[in-house]
Structure 1
Amino acid sequence: MNQSPQPKALSPTCPEPIEQGWLRNDWLELAFLHWPYDPETIQALLPEGLTVDLHDDQAWVSLVPFQMRRAGPTWLPPIPYVSNFWETNVRTYVIDSAGNRAVWFLSLDCVRLLVVAFARWTIGFPYFWADMDVQVTGRRRRYVTTKRRWPRAPAASTTISIEVGNEIEPNDLDLFLTARWGTVAASLGRLWFHAVDHEPWTLHDATVVELSDTAMTAPGLPSPVGAPIVRWAQPVQARFARPVRV
């Protein structure tokens, strides 16, 4: 495994607030499903320059469905239809060469082709154009992702149904998994850190009612073992800074 750089401290609030940024998103109806993984397994999927981040000697992978609203550049008004959409992503947690503790996306499924093309070509996120249907009934949330359309990739689908519980006080593992004030993406043969700022997460406990998924195995992961740790988050408004090479 790569020698890990000295990681920055985890913080429930953004250590370097972003007043304006160049991209904005509102994140709503967001669910986290977390599983532990063998660190060597995750490190093998990472590009050179990234080190898997560990909590109690375990790597973690998360399945995250949510709604994005008002998405787009900060200097443009939201575009009707295009700026509002659902997505499901598979992510893991890494440390870059600058010590940033970031998210690394293994895949992102989104219902807007324009968003998929923009994110793939300008940022380098591994987005796929897919179908997604979501139902919200009381405390029940049901997210269904199917039929990847573009670009060609291993077939993947996800059905997640959860029951949202009470608000919780985040524990150390919650902090490790959610206090990620940036993402890393590969573009033009280089790695770029995209800092993000938003309100502190307000998390709720949640329980799985129904779960079937192949999105996690599609990028090359083995099937997760055991029941996930499940959280649901209240909405936040996110701002992204311009990317920095790492």
Structure 2
Amino acid sequence: MKRVRPIGLPPFPWISYFSELNVRTYVKAKGKPGVYFFSLDAGNRIVVEVARKFFHLPYLNAKINFKKEKTRKEFHCRRNDARANPGEFHITYRPSTEVYRTKEGTLENWLTERYCLYCKDSQEKIYRGEVHHLPWPIQKAECNIYHNTILKSNNIPLTHSMSEPLIHYSESLKVALFPLVPVY
């Protein structure tokens, strides 16, 4: 994540840049499609605590290493937060096509063109946060997954039918998250 900050403020060097791994699903509430996060692992303790308190997002502390060599990237996340089961994810990946925009009606479009997130507070009250961004500039990608226990740590079984990854890559996208509003 780059330049993360409240709208109208400059980025802060010690919290505005961090790596993140999220496990999410796709949901609808009152007819509006969005994403719901099972977990968001981040390598910045301040970000984790602020996001948990003010955005009700299930951020967890993790040790994350990210390396970039030309087009090849290596990402290694090891969760180290006592609030959750341990988990690890280690992958290398690289884009394998030119940048393109998804087409309406495709799975790629359905997965990427979501303009809100849903979360719940400690009393199970559901909130929605509007998310504004341009369409994702994506590329197909290839990867090698060396270790993946992140799904299992979220009590999501990794079945054989889910073993082939569907992977896309995006170099960057500016996103704005607006204040949360109660839904239910």
TM-score by length of 1: 0.68
- 1:8-44: CA deviations, max 9, x gaps? xxxxxxxxxxxxxxxxxxxxxxxxxxxxxxxxxxxxx
* Conserved 8 A contact 1:182-1:195: yes
Secondary structure of the 2:111 match is helix
CA offsets per residue over residues 50-86 of structure 1, 9 Å max, x none? Answer: xxxxxxxxxxxxxxxxxx1111211332111211100
* Structure 2 partner of 1:235: 172
Aligned residue pairs: how many?
A: 177
Aligned: 1:178 with 2:115: no
Q: Would you say 1:140 and 2:72 are equivalent positions?
A: yes
- 2:178 & 2:4 partners in 1: Cα distance? 14
Aligned-pair Cα RMSD in Å? 1.4
Q: Distance in 2 between matches of 1:210 and 1:69?
A: 24
Supply the AA of the counterpart residue of 2:153: A
What amino acid is the match of 1:228? Answer: P
Note closer, same or farther for the CA distance 1:215–1:86 as it changes in structure 2 (3 Å cut): same
Q: Which runs of 4+ in 1 moved over 3 A?
A: none
Over residues 146-167 of structure 1, what are the superposed CA-to-partner deviations in whole Å (9 max), with x where a residue is unaligned? 1x33343111010011121112
Question: Given that residues 106 and 126 in structure 1 are in contact (C-alpha distance below 8 angstroms), is that contact kept between their aligned partners in structure 2?
Answer: yes
Between the aligned residues of both structures, percent identity stands at 28
Asked if 2 retains the 8 angstrom alpha-carbon contact of 1:92 and 1:105, the reply is yes
Of 17, 20, 26, which residue of structure 2 is paired with 1:87?
20
* Cα distance in 1 for residues equivalent to 2:165 and 2:149: 15
Q: Deviations over 1:91-110 (max 9, x none)?
A: 110011x2110100011100
Residue 138 of structure 1: CA displacement? 1.5
Matched, 1:210 2:145: yes
